[in-house]
Amino acid sequence: DTGVSQDPRHKITKRGQNVTFRCDPISEHNRLYWYRQTLGQGPEFLTYFQNEAQLEKSRLLSDRFSAERPKGSFSTLEIQRTEQGDSAMYLCASRLTGSYEQYFGPGTRLTVT
Amino acid sequence: QQQVKQSPQSLIVQKGGISIINCAYENTAFDYFPWYQQFPGKGPALLIAIRPDVSEKKEGRFTISFNKSAKQFSLHIMDSQPGDSATYFCAASTKGYSTLTFGKGTMLLVSP
């Protein structure tokens, strides 16, 4: 257990529904990252925050995706109008500024039917 | 464009043998190279990492070898155990751009 927690661990939803995932980073880690991992692939970067500021978004993050970190602590990732192609493991990682190490949570497995 | 290429895609090693996984990168600005271990249904766990100012780093049975001129690095698992059976990912990042770029992974099976 790295100390990064994610909720829920599994989510099954029907196409067109909205879903929201939560990530709680390691306390005092001010950088928070979201990645997406599909079967047989390595994680791919989606977006990251330094404190409450969203500093970068990947091209993978379509306008149906939105992420927030309102108080610089936990973060949420929302997917609107889900599509079958959104089925993946959504991973959250956190890091302390000044260090390189990123620690990942257990992930949220999304299945869109 | 895949910036980190990992091989082999899968690997079977006998218990007690040495597992070797290789990665090559293109971006010379990369200055941090971690390896992650992932079990099915779990998130990636940081295993060991290296900076380019050293050519080798060892932690227990795990060793990273780094060749800056060839832009390659590898993970060696000595005395491989069945519990090491997992998917291993190499990754890279830069100090100024800290998001990790991952390889596609190597599925390691250590046979008893």
pLDDT in tens, B36-53: 999 999 999 999 999 989
Write down the pLDDT at residue B10.
97
Interatomic CA distance for residues A100 and A80, integer angstroms: 32
Q: Do B43 and A104 touch (CB under 8 A)?
A: yes
Interatomic CA distance for residues B24 and B52, integer angstroms: 13
Helix (H, G, I), strand (E, B) or coil at A7: strand
Confirm or reject contact between A45 and chain B (CB < 8 A). Answer: yes
Q: Residues B109, B11: contact at Cβ < 8 Å?
A: yes
State yes or no: pLDDT of B1 exceeds 60. Answer: no
Q: Do B43 and A2 touch (CB under 8 A)?
A: yes
Query: What confidence tier does A85 reach under pLDDT thresholds 50, 70, 90?
Result: very high
Confirm or reject contact between A4 and chain B (CB < 8 A). Answer: yes
Other CB atoms within a 10 A radius of the CB of residue A83 amount to 12
Q: Amino acid identity of A43?
A: P
The side-by-side arrangement of strands in the sheet containing B72-77 is: B4-7, B19-25, B72-77, B62-67, B56-59
Write down the pLDDT at residue B94.
85
CA distance B60 to chain A (A): 19
Confirm or reject contact between A107 and chain B (CB < 8 A). Answer: yes
Extract the tokens encoding A86. 């959104």
